[in-house]
Structures are given as structure tokens and as C-alpha cells.
Structure 1
Amino acid sequence: MNPVLQATGLVKSFGAFTAVNDVSFTVHEGEALAIIGPNGAGKSTLFDLLTGRKTPDTGDVKLFGESVGHLPPWKRVARGLGRSFQVSSVFPTFTAEENVQIGLMLAGGKTWNAFSRATETQKEEAKAILAKVGLAAKKDVPASDMSYGDQRMLELGVALSTRPRLLLLDEPTAGMGREESRECLAQIRAIAASEQIPIVFVEHDMNVVFSFATRVIVLVAGQVLVDAAPEAVRKDPRVKEAYFGEDI
């Protein structure tokens, strides 16, 4: 099975502090890989190295066999990487449909501006994407008028508009109530299965992690402590110690 994503020897320091220290792992097709760890473990920095928001001091990231470790985010998106942020990043004054249309125009190589117009094909594709993320009935609602959970699903729709072959999600259920979180997770799981898109996600909610991930990486002090199946991670005494003895 060909690797989708390869991180090799990633190191990122800020002054004397090393946030990510020699991290390596591989993601294959069909996986849902969770990256977890206590506060300050280096999760956000690692995510930024994978998505291109930060450049590694040493090491590399390969996407579908191609080195992308020093490419900016938009070039990684063009190569099949879709992503969402920890905080919703949609255009608040635009409708759900317009947000997705913008993503489709940019993915198609068309420069977007206030006078751009989506083609009929892009309009239909935008509606289809909104249906996938459960927002078909809210296509004409401005993003700012949506619930937080709907905004997060809209952001997922925008990520899908780039036609990704891999999705990186930064705390996809952050800020949601239990019911919203459950619905969001079900949508993501259904999309990943139907579109056959592997997923890498950073998450604090252990219920989300162990109900969705097929594999879990535990970071501690910038290094990989454990890389294993969810149940093995749950039972590992080193992981419990890293979480200060808490059950996970």
C-alpha cells in the first residue's frame, strides 16, 4: 500500500525550546490517524509543519511520494491536501454556498475577487458538497448566522471543495456540545468512507479519538511516545502517566 503522507525526522525549535523533536510517521490509505498529547506536547506545531504554516528546521514531509516540506500551504492544497483550522475560518458575510463556490473557483485555478462568478457547474458542485456535510438546507444562510457546529461543517465543505486526497483536521469538534460533536463526527466518518479520504486529526476529546481513530500517535515533549491502535494506546501505562494518571 502506497503511503499518503510521510513525516521524516521533523524538528522545529523556537530559540532554546524544541517543540517538535525528531518526529517520524507514515499515513496510509484508509486510515484515520489521531494525534494527541498533553498541553505543550507539540501537537499544534507538528500540525503546522504538516500543513505548511511552518517550515521544519530539519526533516521532511512527503505527500503522495513528493517532498513538500518547504512548500507553502496553498501549494500543498494544490497537491491534494485539504485542511481545517482549530478556529473556524470561513467568510462570515458570505452564504454557505458562496463559501464553497469560492473554494471551487480557487481549486480550479481561477483567481477569486469580489466580482468573480461561479460557473453553473461550480454552483451545482457546491450544492452537492453542502449536502455531504449536512448543510443543503442552509445554502443561502450567511456563515455568521450559523451555529458554531454548522460553521465547522461548512469549513469542512470548503476543504472538500479543493478535491483533497488527504484531510488534516485541527480539533474538528472543538467548542461543540456533546450532541453537535456526535453529529459532526458522524458526518466526517461518512465523508471519509464515501470519498475514501484518509484523515489526520489533532483532538483533545478522548471520546472522539477512541470512537473514530484507527490509529493514535501520542506526543509528549515534542516526541512520539506511542504510535499504535486505539485500544493499545488506551491501555499503555506510559500514556496514562503522560496524562497525569487520568483515564483516557
Structure 2
Amino acid sequence: MGSPSFHELKKQASFFLKEKIKSARLVLTDVTSAQLLTEEATDEDSWPSDTRTMGLISRAAFEVDDYWRIVDILHKRLWKFDKENWRGSYRALVILEHLLTHGPERVSEEFQSDKEVIKEMSMFQHLDEKRFNWGLRVREKSERILKLLDEDLSFLKQERCKARKVTSGIKGFGSCTQISLDKRLEESRSQMYFRCNYNNDGGERNKDLNYPNHAFGDDEHLDRAALLST
């Protein structure tokens, strides 16, 4: 392998600087790991969220303090949407979809006030330099969110039921060990560093797969530890 290019070194330096800032915030302020993870997952320049990251955020949302931190970040990301800065808002939609189908039931009521900007996103048009139709991806995600936020709640209940059945059907949890959110955050950062080194084409290839990784707030009999992702 040849020497790393200037672009690669710049990306690595930027990554390490961000990590130092995050570590300092954890030590010196009242920021939580879930809050940092949500900020990272919805950042304009971040990589698309994987299912494990979305599962961590959804589980954290069942804690009152983290719930308000998470929804506040999502509100702000959605309302910053415009034709130039759309990626952060789109990634907020990805997280919101997972929260609606896997997180606390109150999420649906919380985001009724964001329907206006989500409708605006449903008309977005954009082709990237590789001719990938991101406009279509954003429109499809927006339309699905609007259906989930419908006031009669029938579609939302149906999708939550589907997600719960998938979760209940996952086997092999008997030997699962609960891993702290802080440790998972570090693992997520390590994966991002790996991508920075070995995937420099800038493409966003990950799909928005919403595999459930955690318990539901409306079923008290589910074993919380047994529903953590391996």
C-alpha cells in the first residue's frame, strides 16, 4: 500500500480532533453518550447510521433525560433542512423512523409539530455527482414518516407490531451480555475510523435498514436484557 494521501490525512486529523472534543465534553459538561451518538449520527458530514447505532439511540430514548436530549437534536436537524444542507435532516429522518417503530410511543405525538418541514422534504430533488437520486431517497423516507405520524395511528401500530414480531423472532440471546452505551459508542467510533482509512470514495452505500434491537415501552413483559443486539 502506498503512503496515505493528503486528503486521507486531513480526514484522519479531523476525526481525531472531533474525538478529543467529544471526550472533553463528556468529562467537562453534562452531555451524555446518547446525546453525542445522536449528534454524530445526524451530522451533515457523518456516515449513514447503521442498525446498531439506531438501536442504541432508541434504547436510550426510554430514559427520560436522554429522551429529551435526543428529540431536541432531531427537531433542530429537521428544521435546518434546505437544498444545500439536506444530509443532516435526512439522517434525522432515518433516526426518527427507527424511534417511531421501536422507541417510546410518545415519539409520535412529539413530532407532530415537524410535519410541515417533513412535507417540504417530500418534494426534494437532488442528483449527486455520480447521478445517484438522493432526492428520491429523501422523498420516500419523508412520505413514510408522514404515514407513521398520521393522527389515526393505525399505520404506526401496524409497523410497531411488525417490528416487535421480528424482534421476538430473533434467537440466540441466551448468552447475550449487556454492553454499556459508552462502550458501544467507542466501537461505533472505531468503525468510523476504519471507514475513513479504507473507504474514501465518499459514497453513502449503507441502506436505511431498521432491524429492531431493543425492547418496546408498551410491553412490560419483554426481557430487556434479552432484546439487546449481539
TM-score, length basis structure 1? 0.31
Q: Which has the higher helix share?
A: 2
Q: Which has the higher strand share?
A: 1
TM-score, length basis structure 2? 0.32
